[in-house]
Amino acid sequence: MGGARAKRKKQEDPSAAFARRLVERLNTREGKRKDVYVLDLRGKEWDRIRPGKSGFLTVRSRQDEGWPDRGRTTSDAAVAEEWVRTYYAPWLERRARIVEEGPNSDFTVAEAVDAYLQHLEKTLGTGHNTLTNRRSTFNVHVIPAFGQKPLLALTKAEVRTFLNDLKVVTRGTGDSTLVPAEHRTKDNVRSALLALWHHTYEDEPAPFAGIKLKKPETQLARRAAAEAGDIEGLVSRTSYTPDEILDLLAHAMLYDEDVLGRPNLACTYFPNTAAALALAIACAARNEEETFIRWKHIYPREGAILLIGTKTTSAPRWMPLQRSVRPWLRMLRAQQGGSPAPDTFVLQTRRGQPTTRSSKKTWGARIATVEKRAGLKLPHKATHILRATHMSLAKDRISDAALKEYVGHSTARGGATDIYMDLRPPFMPKKHRNYIRLPSPDEVRARAAALRAR
Q: Contacts for 67-73 with beta carbons within 8 Å, 24 or more apart? A: 67/205, 68/205, 69/205, 69/210, 73/31, 73/36, 73/37
For residue 100, the model assigns a pLDDT of 72
Contacts of 431 (CB under 8 A, 6+ apart): 398
What are the φ and ψ backbone dihedral angles of 36, each rounded to 5 degrees? -125, 160
**Residues whose CB is less than 8 angstroms from the CB of residue 279 and which lie 6 or more positions away in sequence, other chains included:** 285, 290, 293, 325, 328, 329, 332, 346, 347
- Local mean pLDDT, 10-residue blocks, the chain (454 residues): 53 84 85 76 80 77 75 89 89 76 70 90 86 92 90 85 87 67 88 90 77 68 67 63 94 94 87 94 88 93 85 75 95 93 93 88 90 82 81 86 77 38 64 92 95 88
| % of the chain at pLDDT higher than 70 | 80
C-alpha distances (whole Å) from 408 to each of 4, 271, 296, 405, 419 are 74, 29, 20, 5, 16
Residue 28, CA atoms < 13 Å, CB-side half-sphere: 11
- Contact call for residues 182 and 380 (beta carbons, < 8 A): yes
Instruction: Measure the CA angle with vertex 188, ends 233 and 220; round to 5°.
Output: 20
Cβ–Cβ < 8 Å for 321, 341: no
For residue 207, the model assigns a pLDDT of 79
Q: What pLDDT sits at residue 449?
A: 95
- CA–CA separation, 278 and 323 (whole Å): 12
Sign of CA dihedral 215, 217, 222, 224: positive
What per-residue confidence (pLDDT) applies to 3?
Answer: 57
Whole-number CA gyration radius for the chain: 31
Rounded distance, CA 377 to CA 251, Å?
12
Predicted confidence at residue 399, as pLDDT, reads 85
The DSSP secondary structure of 150-184, one letter per residue, reads BGGG--HHHHHHHHHT-EEEE-TTSS-EEEEPPHH
Question: Could you tell me the pTM of the whole model?
Answer: 0.53
Do you find a cis peptide bond into 68, omega within 30 degrees of 0? yes
User: Which run of H or of E encompasses 299?
Assistant: strand 298-299
Cα–Cα dist 225/138, whole Å: 37
pLDDT digits (tens, 9 = 90+) for 68-102: 777 888 888 999 999 989 888 887 887 777 667 65
